[in-house]
Chain A
Amino acid sequence: MPKVGTYRANSVIYFQGDLGDKIFVLQRGRVTLNYNDIETGKLIREIIQTGEFFGVKSALGRYPREENAVVLEDANVLAFTVPEFEAFSMSNTRIIIKMLKVFSNQLRHIHKQVENLMENPSAVNAETGLYKTGEYYLRSRMYSQARYVFGRYLTYYPAGRMAEQAGRYLETAEAALARYGDGKGPAPLAVAQVASPYVGQEDAAPSAPPPMAAPKPQEGAGLSDVAKDYYNAVSLFSQEKFQEAMKILKAILETGSESEYVGKAQFDMGRCLFALGQWDLAIKHFTGIVQSAPKHPDMADILYIMGQSWEKKGDKARAKAFFSKVLSMPGDDDSSARIKAKKALGALGGA
């Protein structure tokens, strides 16, 4: 049973820093809680009302008292031990709920104060954080987790900066989950810092090479230098630093060593030219690929960008011809190039 204690004016029920397991209720008299404000150091006096509980948090949480409880006028105070308080609360739910409300307000208040003082408010913003979390899971071949996170990303940020790439990653995660199962199959994101997605350039942005096509790391070895250069270029492209990306791509093409990256670099070179508004050069460059590598893995995208280039030049007929070619190619019915080509054709007034 809780005990009633009688305290004289000017006595202290507990001191700041004391460890105590008692929860008090003021029955009669006057008590204040005195403490220094954390931020300003100013002394705060909080008057306890009759019937009010005090010392609850430090007793329940078993941490030192945070204030001096000083008696101003002779007082009767009911003291519960924690088990007594718990027993009492079982039949007095309303009191607990009232405390819950007070505590959740305090929590909200202190949380806001903390946020205000953070120099780098939570470092990453939530949108980027969510996207990167998805990337982590995809990279770790935790496909169902990646699927969840990218799904949430698209729910919360349907028009977000990384929405397009998140959509692709979502597909990748689903495909890998169906094909290999969680934790199995080749890592869909081979590079630790593929990170930066393709910044949306309206519809003009040609699709990125699907992440599934990322190189399989050679036995045991890390990425080759060419691969690293290539991904640096892709990263620059995503930051819209097209000139710098082109410099690296050019260098890769000149080494000519690893055909896999040379092919990729050729394709991305064309994308850079297109992104820079060099329609003629883009067409010329892609025509070269079509002639020298008709089986290029990104052929549908190449034809699509060629169509776009003609459209930008105002040649609707040629543009239509290229978009139609994309649609006539054998292969995946809902590849992004096909979907985009279909849309582009529709916009130009049909096939």
Chain B
Amino acid sequence: MADLAAFSRFARTYQAGEIIFSEYEPGDSFYLIQAGRVRITKIVGDIEKNIDILSAPEIFGEMAILEGAPRSATAIAVETVKVLEFNRANFEILMMGNPQIALRLLKVFTKRIYDQKRRFMILTLDDPQAKIADVFLMLDETQGALNQGEELGDKRDFRVTVDDVAHWAGMNPAEVQTLLSHFSNQRRIELYSDHIVVKNINDFIRFVNSKRKK
């Protein structure tokens, strides 16, 4: 990596277990890992879910670019972690001297824009059932490689709960539960407490496409 010694004033060190930022905390900084691993977690219901483990030279907390938006997850140091801390006001200084970092951030933004657009597509559907089906399509596009090993054909197994689906669909969990049960009665999905099986993903694709505005 480029010489980052000049940026020592942005350097921060966190000890193992220390929180770098907490979910829901308003945030205006983002971080570039220089050493050590950072665990990204979210508390869902009564469980702490690990979303990701990051290490150098990854960037996290970049949604701080949205200004004042609460953090969507917690970042905790797994071991002694060294980071550079930046904000909207000073990130240009870092980027100017470090095109690699700028490029990395550019890729991170690219991914975030895509994720948000995909999410927006779900939300613009009027039909609540189509919204739910589209959540599965989105998950299939982004985590398609998860079904390793066996050949599943049109069947897809998603490690998600009703609450997760509700979150993505921007709907309340009770309504989502009802609609998922409906799908289940139609034998289009199998509903389990910690995962959901879509019997025929192509059926969902056709269904969502028929509901999408042209």
Contacts and interface: CB of A to CB of B under 8 A. Distances in A.
B19 A57 contact: no
Interface stretch (A37-45, A225-233, A235-243): A37-45
Contacts of B152: none
Contacts of B198: none
A93 interface: yes
A148 B113 CA distance: 31
B60 to A, nearest CB: 15
B119 A133 contact: no
A100 interface: yes
A111 interface: yes
B113 A140 contact: no
Interface residues of A, number: 54
Contacts of A41: 213-214
B22 A130 contact: yes
A130 B25 contact: yes
Given A86-B103, A100-B95, A126-B24, A133 B74 contact: yes
Interface residues of B, number: 49
A114 B22 contact: no
A18 to B, nearest CB: 15
Contacts of B19: 145, 148-149
Interface stretch (A1-9, A117-125, A278-286, A305-313): A117-125
Interface string B51-64: 00000000000010
Contacts of A60: 106-107, 110
A96 B24 contact: no
Contacts of A140: 48
Contacts of B170: 117-120
B171 interface: yes
Interface stretch (A101-109, A162-170, A331-339): A101-109
Contacts of B63: 111
A223 interface: no
B116 A107 contact: yes
Given A114-B116, A140-B48, A148-B19, A107 B109 contact: yes
Contacts of A126: 24-26, 70
Contacts of B89: none
Interface string A23-67: 000000000000010111100000000000000110011010010
Interface stretch (B3-11, B120-128, B143-151, B183-191): B120-128
A113 B120 contact: yes
B155 interface: no
B102 A97 contact: yes
A120 B172 contact: yes
B110 A103 contact: yes
A152 interface: yes
B23 interface: yes
B205 interface: no
Interface in B95-139: 95-97, 99-100, 102-103, 105-107, 109-114, 116-117, 119-121, 123-124
A86 B119 CA distance: 28
B95 to A, nearest CB: 5
B43 interface: yes
A110 interface: yes
Most buried by A among B24, B66, B170: B24
Contacts of B99: 89-93, 96
A111 B65 CA distance: 11
Contacts of B18: 144, 148
A182 interface: yes
Given A93-B99, A93-B102, A156 B113 contact: no
B128 to A, nearest CB: 10
A99 interface: yes
A110 B117 contact: yes
A156 B109 contact: no
Contacts of A120: 170-172
Q: 6 tightest A-B contacts by CB?
A: A129-B24, A41-B213, A117-B123, A126-B70, A130-B24, A61-B110
Interface of A: 36, 38-41, 56-57, 60-61, 63, 66, 86, 89-93, 96-97, 99-100, 103-104, 106-108, 110-111, 113-114, 117-120, 122-124, 126-127, 129-130, 132-133, 136, 140, 142, 144-145, 148-149, 152, 156, 182, 192
Interface of B: 17-19, 22-26, 43, 46, 48, 63, 65-67, 69-70, 74, 76, 92, 95-97, 99-100, 102-103, 105-107, 109-114, 116-117, 119-121, 123-124, 167, 170-172, 213-214
Given A93-B97, A97-B95, 15 more contacts: A61-B107, A96-B95, A97-B96, A107-B116, A108-B65, A110-B120, A114-B116, A114-B119, A114-B123, A127-B24, A129-B70, A130-B70, A133-B23, A136-B48, A144-B17
15 contacts: A57-B113, A90-B103, A93-B96, A93-B99, A93-B102, A107-B66, A108-B67, A111-B116, A120-B172, A130-B25, A136-B48, A148-B19, A148-B22, A152-B25, A192-B46
